[in-house]
């Protein structure tokens, strides 16, 4: 591996140390220095894998300044591995600032993929939708949290949140109030650890379920909410349908829909759907 002057962004386990990848171990062994969110925490991980390496602290409060030091090392030809306390750096963790600085300086940046709680939770939630929106942590304050949730209420993809144990009760309650109590919540707690729990239930029942047993409120959480049901486009009235049919007989579909929308003021989506079904029925 020719690694001189390279910044490796290395994912580390989110609980179970066996989840580290073979490549991550190789890279951590090979680099000149490891930049860690918390050097004491990372020392524990390294000693588990019998790796001895110089550690530098790069955390939320010194990321830019520490980044400048790292750049000097990288420009001098050293290789650096960037790790956070758990999971993938830059995912609700420091990392993005250093990576952006390295990119801007023309340094080679290499991802070493591995664990991340968002992906682990999605893989075990069984929500069959093509997309998801990772929101990370919601705001701590109630009104800001509800506003953030309100802005996501109509999203037709799975919503994924990180949450701390002391806020999980309030968060699920606000989710029920803003997103709708009937929507299914997946609580993914302590993934890959001894007390791993994956539980699905309607949002309206989530707070009571968590309160039933204090242990259910402990540890680390990923909360996933199934997508909102797409809004009905509404029926097209008989006059709008008559106009659409006339235009469709003379014009290409898109043009007919646009003109029919202008003439009748019916909803464009509804007219478009109807136009498609009329064409298919021909």
Residues in contact with ligand SAM by CB under 6 A are 14-15, 84, 86-88, 91-93, 116-118, 162-164, 188-193, 220-222
Minimum CB–partner distance for residue 82 and ligand SAM (Å): 12
Query: Contact, 37 vs 78, CB < 8 A?
Result: no
Minimum CB–partner distance for residue 198 and ligand SAM (Å): 10
CB-nearer residue toward ligand SAM: 116 or 158: 116
Residue nearest to ligand SAM (CB): 87
Minimum CB–partner distance for residue 10 and ligand SAM (Å): 12
CB-nearer residue toward ligand SAM: 3 or 135: 135
CB-nearer residue toward ligand SAM: 170 or 190: 190
Minimum CB–partner distance for residue 256 and ligand SAM (Å): 49
CA separation for the pair 112, 109 (Å, rounded):
10
CB-nearer residue toward ligand SAM: 161 or 272: 161
Query: Contact, 56 vs 70, CB < 8 A?
Result: yes
Minimum CB–partner distance for residue 36 and ligand SAM (Å): 13
CB-nearer residue toward ligand SAM: 78 or 93: 93
CB-nearer residue toward ligand SAM: 78 or 174: 174
Minimum CB–partner distance for residue 119 and ligand SAM (Å): 8
CB-nearer residue toward ligand SAM: 98 or 248: 98
Minimum CB–partner distance for residue 255 and ligand SAM (Å): 48
């Amino acid at each position: 591996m020719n690694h001189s002057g390279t910044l490796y962004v290395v994912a580390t386990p989110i609980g179970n140390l066996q989840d580290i990848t073979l490549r991550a171990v190789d890279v951590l062994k090979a680099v000149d220095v490891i930049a860690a969110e918390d050097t004491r925490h990372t020392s524990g991980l390294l000693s588990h894998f019998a790796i001895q390496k110089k550690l530098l602290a790069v955390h939320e409060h010194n990321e830019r300044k520490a980044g400048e030091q790292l750049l000097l090392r990288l420009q001098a030809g050293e290789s650096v591995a960037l790790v956070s306390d758990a999971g993938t750096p830059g995912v609700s963790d420091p990392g993005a600032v250093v990576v952006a600085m390295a990119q801007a300086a023309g340094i080679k940046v290499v991802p070493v993929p591995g664990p991340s709680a968002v992906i682990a939770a999605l893989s075990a939630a069984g929500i069959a939708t093509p997309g998801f929106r990772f929101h990370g942590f919601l705001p701590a304050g109630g009104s800001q949290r509800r506003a953030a949730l309100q802005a996501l209420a109509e999203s037709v993809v799975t919503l994924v949140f990180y949450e701390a144990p002391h806020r999980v009760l309030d968060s699920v309650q606000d989710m029920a109030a803003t997103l709708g109590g009937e929507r299914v919540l997946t609580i993914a707690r302590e993934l890959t650890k001894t007390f791993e729990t994956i539980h699905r239930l309607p949002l309206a029942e989530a707070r009571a379920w968590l309160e039933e047993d204090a242990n259910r409120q402990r540890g680390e959480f990923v909360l996933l909410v199934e997508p909102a049901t797409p809004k009905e486009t509404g029926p097209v009235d008989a006059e709008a349908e008559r106009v659409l049919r006339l235009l469709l007989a003379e014009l290409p579909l898109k043009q007919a829909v646009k003109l029919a929308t202008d003439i009748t003021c019916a909803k464009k989506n509804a007219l478009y759907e109807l136009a498609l079904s009329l064409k298919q029925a021909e």
